[in-house]
């Protein structure tokens, strides 16, 4: 298997450059405060930000972004490594097959006779296994994790790539203009002249913590475009959120007369530089290739009839459909997972609320309520995948929660893992919709969960989940608030 790559950027251009070069990255936005990062770095060097060269600035910001994502992954790996309790694994397809065989034997039916087996078949296609006695097995989560190394115990990778770009023109460093008036002034000044686009990269090997970084630049020669062309270009919105107010691969490409240097660096990712940086970490660039040319796995003409997600939603490692023996297709080539996060009453310790996701209309069973989660990425254990997805979708921070159990619905070629978690004593998770996969994310009172329009699978599992959560809460202990907003645990 290739070494997973995490891109600490939401730039479609950077992602596309990597993808075209054979690397499909996991996208994890860093949310770094860039001015503050530059101020800290300058202060540590005893200078002002204005004293920093453009090369220093892009490398400082690239490293800050990579380190922010490194810390986030460390939190995920730590929370997964500290998980305890049991994993209950259910085998519903065995129950369906057994139900069908029993019905056929009792009715004297043959393989073409559906009499007596209709309820089992219908439940299979709706993923509603209520009323079916599903066999289960239980084992300690620690034993499960021993069989899924994940990122916590990886020998190499994932590689976390941080990037930053700035444009140097007339001795001034330009970042993103954000404002139409700023973009207009810059584009007017740049026409007919040259400037330098600098790109900084930082690569961190998560397994070792080793870091390599560097910067590249290219000279950009601009054409003598008109005021009307500037006005219309700004109206597209493209130049507002890109370094230097222009792009090489978009609407602005026609205004660029030539490039001296690495053109990929102008698009935000210098592939030659990245190859050198990964080599410094002892990793071959070709070990990162994970893109097969042709139609992405799991796609078909049938997909064209499905609700279309926003164009910003991109393919990532682990995304794709798996055809299952149950007669349905499931999302996640490595399986899928989500977090069922519960809050306990500070006085009684009983479960009071859970975090729920109101799913976007374009998603499967759009408009229904479920738990935050999604496809497990390459190299992740199911618990790590659930923790990563729950932050990306719902802002559930791994350092603030404790994994206390899990439930895995095993379908053979695919499985879904529900991770049970509580807020840590003294911690508060503030959920919110971090991406466009949710209409809303909120704490829902425990006793009101059945009143929502639930995803089919959650509606089926909820009675067992509710009972297990309350049992876990009872065994976990009673939480009492102490003076100074601290918290202690007492055995139940």
Rounded Cα distance between 317 and 188, Å, is: 41
Cα angle: 244, vertex 249, 253; to 5 degrees: 70
The gap from C-alpha 279 to its chain's centroid, in whole angstroms, comes to 26
Identify the residue whose tokens are 């400037």.
195
Residue 409: name the closest of 341, 455, 342 by CA. Answer: 455
CB atoms within 10 A of CB 167: 24
How many Å apart are CA 389 and CA 386, to the nearest integer?
A: 5
Cβ atoms within 10 A of the Cβ of 97, count? 14
Helix segments in 165-304, DSSP class H? 180-190, 227-235, 263-266, 271-280
Decide if 144 contacts 89 (C-beta within 8 A): no
Residue 227 near residue 85 (C-beta atoms within 8 A) = no
153 to each of 78, 148, 285, 379, 477, how far by Cα in Å? 10, 9, 22, 10, 30
3-state secondary structure of 97: helix
Give the separation between CA 13 and CA 289, rounded to whole angstroms.
Answer: 18
Helix (H, G, I), strand (E, B) or coil at 369: strand
Tokens of 360: 């976007």
CA 98 – CA 329 distance, rounded (Å) = 22
Among 197, 198, 208, 216, which residue's Cα sits nearest to residue 274? 216
User: Is 164 known to be catalytic?
Assistant: yes
Q: Of residues 86, 128, 149, 164, which has the active-site annotation?
A: 164
Within a 13 Å sphere around the CA of 391, how many CA atoms are in the beta-carbon half?
21
| Neighbouring residues of 457: CB distance < 8 A, sequence distance ≥ 6 | 127, 128, 370, 409, 416
3-state SS, residue 358: strand
Query: Catalytic amino acids?
Result: 164
């Amino acid at each position: 298997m290739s070494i997973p790559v995490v891109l600490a950027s939401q730039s479609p251009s950077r992602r596309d450059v990597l993808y075209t070069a054979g690397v499909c990255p996991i996208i994890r936005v860093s949310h770094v405060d860039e001015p503050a990062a530059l101020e800290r770095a300058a202060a540590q060097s005893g200078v002002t930000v204005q004293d920093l060269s453009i090369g220093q600035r892009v490398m400082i910001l690239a490293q800050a972004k990579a380190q922010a994502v490194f810390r986030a992954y460390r939190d995920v790996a730590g929370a997964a490594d500290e998980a305890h309790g049991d994993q209950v694994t259910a085998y519903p397809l065995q129950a369906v097959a057994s139900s069908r065989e029993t019905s056929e034997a009792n009715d004297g039916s043959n393989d073409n006779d559906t009499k007596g087996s209709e309820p089992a078949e219908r439940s299979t296609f709706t993923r509603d296994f209520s009323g079916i006695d599903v066999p289960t097995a239980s084992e300690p989560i620690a034993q499960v994790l021993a069989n899924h190394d994940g990122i916590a115990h990886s020998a190499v990778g994932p590689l976390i790539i941080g990037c930053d770009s700035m444009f140097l023109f007339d001795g001034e460093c330009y970042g993103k203009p954000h404002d139409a008036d700023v973009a207009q002034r810059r584009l007017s000044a740049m026409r007919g002249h040259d400037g330098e686009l600098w790109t900084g990269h930082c690569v961190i090997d998560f397994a070792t913590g080793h870091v390599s970084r560097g910067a590249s630049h290219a000279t950009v020669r601009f054409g003598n475009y008109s005021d009307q062309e500037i006005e219309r270009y700004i109206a597209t919105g493209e130049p507002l959120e890109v370094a230097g107010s222009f792009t090489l691969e978009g609407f602005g490409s026609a205004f660029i007369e030539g490039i001296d240097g690495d053109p990929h660096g102008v698009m935000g990712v210098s592939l030659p530089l990245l190859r050198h940086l990964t080599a410094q970490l002892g990793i071959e660039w070709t070990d990162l290739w994970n893109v097969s040319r042709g139609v992405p796995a799991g796609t078909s003409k049938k997909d064209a009839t499905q609700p279309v997600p926003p164009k910003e939603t991109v393919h990532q490692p682990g995304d794709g459909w798996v055809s299952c023996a149950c007669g349905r297709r499931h999302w996640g080539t490595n399986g899928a997972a989500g977090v069922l996060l519960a809050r306990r009453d500070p006085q009684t310790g009983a479960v009071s609320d859970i975090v729920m996701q109101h799913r976007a209309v374009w998603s499967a069973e759009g408009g229904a309520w479920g738990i935050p989660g999604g496809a497990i990425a390459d190299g992740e254990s199911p618990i790590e995948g659930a923790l990563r997805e729950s932050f990306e979708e719902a802002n559930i921070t791994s350092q603030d929660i404790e994994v206390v159990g899990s439930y895995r619905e095993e379908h053979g070629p695919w499985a879904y893992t529900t991770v049970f978690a509580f807020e840590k004593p003294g911690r508060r998770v503030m959920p919110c919709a971090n991406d466009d996969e949710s209409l809303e994310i909120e704490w829902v009172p425990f006793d009101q969960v059945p009143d929502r329009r639930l995803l089919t699978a959650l509606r089926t599992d909820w009675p067992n989940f509710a009972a297990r959560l309350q049992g876990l809460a009872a065994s976990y202990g009673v939480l009492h608030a102490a003076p100074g907003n601290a918290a202690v645990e007492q055995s139940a």
